[in-house]
Amino acid sequence: MYFMGKYKGYKTIGQAIHAESAAFLLFLNCRVRQVAPGSVGIIHFPVPRGPMDDKVLESLKKDIIEFIMRRTKMTEQQIISLENIPLSRTEMLDYGIATEKIPIIR
């Protein structure tokens, strides 16, 4: 999705109400990332499912942190400290996770 936008000019728009784990990472791939009132985003790192080498797990975590840093305004320490903490619409906008608000339609 990211490279389609970068090299082909496609504009992907993601709208998050509840972005968690893989959905959070998919949302970050969108060029435009919209959040509605009440939206929540949660950062998760991989957890072992059965036997897994600690080095592999740490490598995956490092890759996710670097990806989030590239797509947002967040530092490594912020990403690590906010794992498993629900982030509000305002926080997602402040950290650069989201790029714009979805307007309230009445």
What are the mean pLDDT values of the chain's consecutive 10-residue runs (106 residues total)?
A: 80 92 93 94 88 87 97 97 97 97 75
Asked if residues 105 and 57 have their Cβ atoms less than 8 Å apart, the reply is no
Q: How many CA atoms lie within 13 A of 71 on its CB side?
A: 25
pLDDT given at position 61: 95
- The DSSP line for 4-17 is HHHHH----EEEEE
pTM over 0.85: yes
Map out the domains of the chain with their CATH numbers: 15-101 (3.90.226.10)
Q: What is the pLDDT of residue 48?
A: 79
Q: What is the pLDDT of residue 87?
A: 98
pLDDT of residue 5: 77
